[in-house]
Amino acid sequence: MRFERVGKWKWLRRIAGSVFVSLTIYFLWVLTERGLDRLQGNRDFAATVAETDAMDPDWRWDDLNAKRPRPPVGQNSAELIPKIKAAVPTDWNKLWAELDSRLPELSPNVRMYSADLAKAKSSFDSSPQPLRLARTLKDLPHGHRDYTLALNVFDTLLPDVQHTREVALILKWDACVAADESDAARASDALAAGLNASRSIGDEPFLISQLVRIATRIIMIRSVERTLAQISQPESLASLRLPGLQHALTEDTSVPMLLYGIRGERATFDILAGRLDDGTVSLENLGGPSAERDSFNVRLGFWHLRGRLPSDRAFCLSWFNAAVAAAEKPVHEQPAAFENFAALEVGKSILLRFLPAVDKVAAAHWRCVAEGHCAVVGIACERFRLKNGRWPETLAELGPEFLASIPLDPFDGHKLRYAKCADGVVVHSVGPKPDPRRPPKFRPGLPDSIEIGFRLWNPEARRQPPPAEPKVQSVP
């Protein structure tokens, strides 16, 4: 029995020794592989940095921000946004959301529900300070904000950017009330201020900032469409100062908002990658469910994959460089250039999971540019009609007095389309390629099958009576 026990312990020691040796070899192999991955990754990253420096010497965060233009003292529209926000009553956001929920039902040439207009007018009359401040934006076409990045760059706050949307809604409803009252001069000021509210975001180096600029510009463009659809008298239309409005929109639609955002994201993303690599930012800082982040397996996997961070950092920088190069192309060449950005296999990479959806932001940018181009041409058509008493037969008739050149459609590179309707005309884009995952969004007033366009009505078809007030169902 004693010999059996000795033999048993002997075999256990052998097994334990084999396991220990195997684990030691495995960990040595992991450490060696991790070290080799890091060594090669550092080489790849250094080479990618050299390529980036040659392509864009000011790509780093500090250099990029140092080169951003700043408005003269006292002319920075971004400084006005928080002042307007501070003066806004707490219930206005709820009011605009309520009114906006019913506005899409109406064609721009149909007057709004009288109750909605009364609510907006009453709000402005009872609290005039926010609107008074917002209107002063009409003389401030440039904006700039400086930012200090948070330790985790994703935590950097942009409160005034979000407040810009609220200011745009105030000016939108100011234009709506003014147009309904045929106060063209007031509507003109509201439209100019609305465009400058969007411009207050300027060249901010964040995609979210540029998405807000896109959204607020579209708010203003559709306000222009509704204003023209509500005013028919030539003397009132003259008060809209259409040449200046057309010029301002022409300038604004040429702004490379997508490029601003991607260049900034490249700089901030590389800072995050560097901080993650040197341990300044931990996995816990990146967000997500705490139980998952704190688990041993996740921590062990993060330790293992950290050896690949330099290689992933090089890949991400190269990926951003390709996105920047695509965003630098003329807008009508960008859709083809961005086709490869729709899907990205993240695999075991840590960094690739946090790359922004530049393809979706790009699609929003192209739609905004298309709407802006259509509005510019639409305003030129209205000016032509005011002088000649008719709509142009073709867009070629607009040049050079009313339009220097016909803008290209971002979606196919051809000139924008123009069609006559029974009660007016429409300038339109072909729109994005059909996508079964994204049904088209058609707007009231646009002809069937046209998703992106700017509609103009004959004088007699403007300012149509409002529909019956929708019945409000009582809640028991």
Q: Which of 93-97, 123-127, 298-302 has the lowest mean pLDDT?
A: 298-302
CA geometry: angle 467, 469, 470, nearest 5 deg = 110
Count of other CB atoms within 10 angstroms of residue 464: 17
Q: What mean pLDDT is predicted for residues 65-87?
A: 97
pLDDT value for 433: 84
What's the CA gap between 83 and 93, in Å, rounded? 16
344 or 49: which carries more pLDDT confidence?
A: 49
Task: Please check the confidence at residue 300 and state whether its pLDDT lies above 50.
Answer: no
pLDDT, tens only, 153-196: 999 999 999 999 999 999 999 999 999 999 999 999 999 999 99
Q: What mean pLDDT is predicted for residues 277-294?
A: 64
Task: Please check the confidence at residue 474 and state whether its pLDDT lies above 60.
Answer: no
Amino acid identity for residue 159 in this structure: P
pTM for the complete prediction?
A: 0.88
pLDDT, tens only, 336-381: 999 877 566 656 577 888 899 999 999 999 999 999 999 999 999 9
pLDDT value for 189: 98
pLDDT value for 320: 96
Q: What mean pLDDT is predicted for residues 402-407?
A: 97
**Coil, strand or helix at 218:** helix
Burial label, 226 (beta-carbon count in 10 A; 0-12, 13-18, 19+):
buried
Task: Please check the confidence at residue 311 and state whether its pLDDT lies above 70.
Answer: yes
CB contact set of 238 (below 8 Å; sequence gap of 6+): 184, 386
What's the CA gap between 212 and 197, in Å, rounded? 10
pLDDT value for 297: 44
